[in-house]
Amino acid sequence: MAFETIDAEDFLEPGKSFGGRIKGGYQSANEEWSTNLTAAARSGNFDFLASGTFRDFGEIHTGASGDHAKYPNDGNLKSGLFKGGFSPNELNRVELSYQRFVDKMVGPTNPGGNLLSQFSHDLKRDQEQYTGTWAFRDTDRSLLDGKLTIYQTTFKLNSHSLATPPQADTTTMTKTVGASLQNSSRFNTGPWMAHRLTYGVDIYRDTSENTSAGQSNSVLPNGEMRAVGVFLQDEVSFLNNWTLIGALRHDDYKLTSPGQSEVSHNKLSPKLTLKYQPWDVLGVYASYGKAYRGPTLTEMFGNLNTNQALFNFRPNTDLKPETSTAKEVGATLSFDDVLGAGDRLRVKATYFTEDVEDMIDQQVVGSYTRAAPFVGTGLIFQRNNVARAERHGAEVEVAYAWDDLTLGLGYSRLRSKNADTGAHLYAPPDKLAFGAQYRIDNNWSVRYLGQFVRAQDYDSTELRRRSGYAVHDIGLSYQQRQYRIDVGITNLFDKPYATYQQSMAETFTYELGRSVNVTLSARF
């Protein structure tokens, strides 16, 4: 996967050849100090950027009491970005970049694991990415308006057990090599019909090498995944207020793992969207599309069969790709001068349904009695296909701005169930978010953000259910041309809460409690 990063032009004022920013901050909930220095320069057709960050953090303070009041999390993070660009003319630009981060901390090897686990490890993560891009176009963007990206990412995770007796040390390495090429062409097929034709290809290869106690890791099997996607989309604007978007994507992927049979699948996925804007204040649209997701190496081949473990896993070499058919309708509203001259009100609402065949779902397929150093009953997990699943949901966004006041409101709802049994599957709870910002004068502004999350008390996997919660954040900012100070308090009332999105059913880790946050930055 390719990522967008900051550019030199983000830090260079017009007519300047050098600039940058220095930034420092503190967050009390995890005792974190952070610093960042970014510098950019331009010389002729060349530009350069360098950015470095250091963070030092300690134990996590939650709003809970007892054992969950604090979690061990001591560690630090270092990251750097180096980027160079060359624009020989207005039609072409080439960029090369190198990005790396290294962090060290104490915690479980599974990112979804419980932070109170007595089997914690010293963890070191190291990720680096090389990226090269070429953006090109012709003078009027009629035939050429595209981008070529080539990248390589390497991620390593090393863990050393802190338990007594110690568990096996593990290493994980995933290397991704990929490329993507996309171009858009614009043309007309008559006086009332304009096309924007976009087409391209993306390809990548993941290679995984993992060990446990110096041997192959059966939970995270070695292997390779190769994926190729080809796509074509035609955006047709006609009769002034109609837009029809038709798209086709073909995916082909292959999985290989030592000692396992090769697995390969391919799928053609169409999508069609129709938009209609009868008036400036109202727009409506409807879409129909199909999507496809193949199983990963771990989902298909992950295997652990021992009673000296917290959990066990079973492979499923018959796991099928999941395919879905989605339908969506929506509307946008745009009003000006509603409550006063110059104000703006924007509303967007969508409703969607999705029918999923062979949905990949983690299921409990058995249990076992744990042996020392573990105690209790362990669960056996396996990825299986749900023959038919149904999802439906809605989202609403409202934005209002008047002079120095900005308000925002968002609501989301999603439900997912097994179409054959009616059992509720993984689906986040209803969420309402409200934000407000007021600019007092040219320098000072205040802000508020509230998140209100309904209880997730309907998941058929009861261990995954979570209580509802409300979290409130406030902040104050002061900004001049070159300087900015931000002071804020997140989780103002120190609410103890655990999010439903935590990946393991038996994981119950509270989020950050009340935190006083201060950030200072200066441009030069």
SS3 for 194-247, per residue? EEEEEEEEEEEEEEEEEEECCEECCCCCCEEEEEEEEEEEEEEEECCCEEEEEE
C-alpha angle 202-129-59 in degrees, rounded to nearest 5: 125
The set of residues, in sequence order, having a beta carbon less than 8 Å from that of 46 and lying 6+ positions away, is 84, 85, 86
Q: Kindly give, in sequence order, each residue whose CB lies less than 8 Å from that of residue 192, ignoring residues fewer than 6 positions away.
A: 238, 239, 240
Q: What is the mean pLDDT of residues 361-377?
A: 87
Tens of pLDDT, residue by residue over 208-267, are: 999 888 888 877 889 999 999 999 999 999 999 999 999 999 999 999 999 888 899 999
- Statement: residue 471 has pLDDT above 90: yes
pLDDT band at 1 (very low <50, low <70, confident <90, very high): very low
| Cβ atoms < 10 Å from Cβ of 465 | 16
Helices assigned H by DSSP within 302-371: none
**Which helix (DSSP H) or strand (DSSP E) does residue 298 occupy?**
helix 297-301
Q: Which helix (H) or strand (E) holds 131?
A: strand 121-137
The conformation of residue 44, written as its DSSP 8-state character, comes to T
pLDDT at 375: 84
Q: From 96, 95, 153, 156, select the one nearest 129 (Cα to Cα).
A: 153
| CB contact at 8 A, 50 and 74 | no
Summarised one tens digit per residue, pLDDT across range 380-389 is 999 999 999 9
pLDDT score recorded for residue 328: 99
Q: How far apart are CA 285 and CA 305, in angstroms?
A: 51
**Residue 372 phi, psi (nearest 5):** -50, 140
DSSP H or E segment with residue 299: helix 297-301
Q: What is the CA radius of gyration of the chain?
A: 26
Among 210, 126, 127, CA closest to 168: 210
pLDDT of residue 72 exceeding 90, the answer is no
Task: Tell me the average pLDDT across 420-440.
Answer: 95
The whole-angstrom separation of Cα 162 and Cα 74 is 14
| pLDDT value at residue 505 | 57
Q: Which pLDDT tens digit goes with each residue over 298-334?
A: 899 888 888 888 789 999 999 999 999 999 999 999 9
Predicted confidence (pLDDT) per residue in 158-207, tens digit: 988 877 777 788 899 999 999 999 999 999 998 899 999 999 999 999 99
Query: Is-contact 210 178, C-beta < 8 A?
Result: no
Whole-number Å distance between alpha carbons of 367 and 370: 9
Question: Residue 37 in contact with residue 60, Cβ under 8 Å?
Answer: no
- Residue 36's pLDDT band (cuts 50, 70, 90): very high
Q: Which CATH superfamily is domain 8-523 in?
A: TonB-dependent receptor, beta-barrel domain (2.40.170.20)
29 dihedral zone (left: phi>0; alpha: psi -120 to 50; beta): alpha
Which residues on neighbouring strands pair with residue 324, listed in sequence order?
A: 291, 356
pLDDT tens for each residue of 130-139: 999 999 999 9
- CA pair distance 194, 185, nearest whole angstrom: 11
Domain ranges in the chain are 8-523
Q: Report the chain's mean pLDDT, rounded to a whole number.
A: 92
Going by C-alpha positions, the residue among 129, 128, 130, 127 that lies closest to residue 158 is 127
